[in-house]
Amino acid sequence: MVDVIVFAVAGLIVLAGGLGVVLNSNPVRSALSLVASFFGVAVLFVLQEAHFLALVQIVVYAGAIVVLFLFVIMLLGVDEVEDLSIEPLSGQRIGGLLAGAALLVFLLGGLFLSGGDEGAVAVTGTESVTQPIDETQPNIDNLATDLFGRNVLAFEATALLLTIATVGAVVLVRNAGAEDLSVDEPGRADH
């Protein structure tokens, strides 16, 4: 019973946070709503006994990533209310609303109709089929075994992926038109 209540409260926080991200016209408030949503997700992780993930959720997502978002928002100076009265494409907003509502009905319908009798995929607030892999061991051990065992390839590929993304981002944003290009990179300006 407690599980269900905690689930409901955390779920509400997640939903409210998500709505806040979309509905706030001020990007700073949107980012802060995102933090609330992340905290809700962290509680849901705790409910599934994924304590390590809950911690990571707060430290990495709520802590690091959203702070980065806020930095970007404030550095770019877009922390002002945008004029949302202009509709670039006529009928776009109505269309978007309808499509969103249709998707919501579709998803909720799918979830509720799938309940069945065994309840494995129903919305009950009980633990999912993916329980802790091994009850006798802490989550973090299991995660480590899994990450460096079966998923080591994906793990290493992710490392490469992050490097590539950094290299590409640096190349794309560096100001090649500037006169002093040849200072830090001799020869490039010749071409």
Partner 1 sequence: MTLAFLAQQTIERIPFDSPTIDWHAFAPEAILLAWTCLVVVVDMVGLERARRFMPGLTGVGFLLATIPVLTLWNDGATRSLFEGAYVVDRYALALKGLFLISGYVVVLLSTQYMADGDYYDSEYYILLASSVLGMTVMASARDLITIFVALELLSIPAYLLAAWRKRDLKSNEAGLKYMLMGIFASAIMLYGMSLLYGVAGDTRLSVIAEKLTSEGTKPLLTLAALFTIIGFAFKVSAVPFHTWAPDTYEGAPTPLTAFLAVASKAAGFVAMVTIITTAFPGQADVVEPFMWVLSALTMSIGNLIAMRQTNIVRMLAYSGVAQAGYIMAPLAVYSQTGQNGVSAASAIVNYLIIYSAMNLGAFAVVIAAARKTRSGEISSFGGMLNYAPGLTTAMTVFLFSLAGIPPMGGWLAKWQVFSVLLQSESTWGTTLALVAAVNTVLAAFYYLNVAKQMWFMPAPDGDTSRVRVPPSLVAALAITVIATLLSGVTGLVPDITDFGSIALGR
Q: How far is CA 52 from the centre of its chain?
A: 17
Instruction: Give dist(CA 73, CA 67) in Å, integer.
Output: 10
* One character per residue 138-157, x = contact with partner 1 (rule: CB under 8 A): ---x--xx--xxxxxxx--x
Which residue's CB is nearer to partner 1, number 64 or number 107?
Answer: 107
Find where tokens 């705790």 sit.
46
Which residue's CB is nearer to partner 1, number 1 or number 89?
Answer: 89
| Per-residue tokens: 86 | 């202009």
Neighbours of 37 (CB within 10 A): 22
Instruction: Give dist(CA 141, CA 139) in Å, integer.
Output: 5
Q: Does 120 bind partner 1 (CB under 8 A)?
A: yes
Q: Shortest distance, CB of residue 115 to partner 1, whole angstroms? A: 9
Near partner 1 by CB under 8 A: residue from 117, 160, 179, 183: 160
Instruction: Give dist(CA 22, CA 121) in Å, integer.
Output: 29
Q: Shortest distance, CB of residue 168 to partner 1, whole angstroms? A: 3
The span of 12-20, 26-34, 80-88, 109-117 binding partner 1 (CB under 8 A) equals: 109-117
Q: Shortest distance, CB of residue 124 to partner 1, whole angstroms? A: 13
Q: Does 72 bind partner 1 (CB under 8 A)?
A: no
Give the count of residues interacting with partner 1 (CB under 8 A). Answer: 42
3-state SS, residue 177: coil
The span of 3-11, 34-42, 83-91, 120-128 binding partner 1 (CB under 8 A) equals: 120-128
Neighbours of 41 (CB within 10 A): 20
